[in-house]
Amino acid sequence: MQKAKKKLEMMAKNCYSNVTIITTTIEYMFAEGIEGMEPMRRRGRRKRRTSLYLVMLVVGIFLATLVIQGAGLQADCRKLTAEKSQLEQKKKNLEKEQQKIKEKEKYMQTDKYIEDMAREKFGLVYDNEIIFKPADGE
């Protein structure tokens, strides 16, 4: 670095143009490194590393949130699936009951139903039928 300073002083004494002096200064800075630049480079690396850690932390929190929410959604899905199967079974049972009610309604509109109710409720019989009653002691 001392050589660069001496050369710059000599150029300034010999009245070189400012552009030449600046260009030469920049070339030497990059060729040999600037004194005091190493701590700045370290700070830049630290900042980048810290930024990287922050980004990784945010991404990690985001992924953890996704995993937790996903597990909750899976539990809800299993619960809803079980509820769906229960409701389907209940629907089948109700359809069977509805079918029985329709059959009974059709039966109630026939003469056979009227005849059975007359026999059961009122004890009516045909003329040629004989009714057997059990004895009181038996």
What distance in Å separates the CA atoms of residue 132 and residue 106, rounded to the nearest whole number? Answer: 31
The residue ranges of every structural domain in the chain are 1-35, 36-122
Which amino acid, 51?
Answer: S
What distance in Å separates the CA atoms of residue 125 and residue 118, rounded to the nearest whole number? Answer: 8
- According to DSSP, residue 33 is labeled -
Q: What is the pLDDT of residues 21-63, one digit of tens each?
A: 666 666 666 555 555 555 555 666 677 788 889 999 999 999 9
- Residue 56, pLDDT score: 93
Residue with the two structure tokens 């629907």: 91
Which amino acid, 126?
Answer: Y
Q: What is the pLDDT of residues 67-107, one digit of tens each?
A: 999 999 999 999 999 999 999 999 999 999 999 999 999 99
- Residue 135, pLDDT score: 82
